[in-house]
Amino acid sequence: DRKTSEMGVTIETTKDGDGKNFPKKGDQLKMHYTGTLKSDGSKFDSSRDKGKVFQFVIGVGAVIKGWDEGVIQMSLGQRAVLNITSDYGYGSEGAAGVIPPNADLVFDVELLGINNLSAGGGGGGGGCTLL
């Protein structure tokens, strides 16, 4: 189950999401991720290791382009591997001394929440909607 966008990111699903709730530009997302260098598999960052969910707004340039283009194709609860080319990652600059220039990246990501929806929470019917 591989999805390729015309962009510099490919998505390989490792756990299916709900197939109906997809993020839209401007949505607040909650994710878990582990980032590794494609070249040697060395880990440079992980929200799982920190025990803290990563929150960001999708589609507004708050994260690398590979995330903006890749995560928006995922549904709630989905876990996937994003293979991101350097031009959709940190490019010729690299990052923070941990990601070398022109490095291709691999992220194991899981979409845990979209705005007020949480994975595994059923999502539909009953309950209150916060406006």
Q: Hey, which residues are catalytic here?
A: 33, 44-45, 64, 90, 107
Closest by Cα among 109, 32, 112 to 77? 112
Classify strands 79-84 and 54-57 as parallel, antiparallel or unpaired: unpaired
Distance of CA 25 to the CA centre of its chain: 13
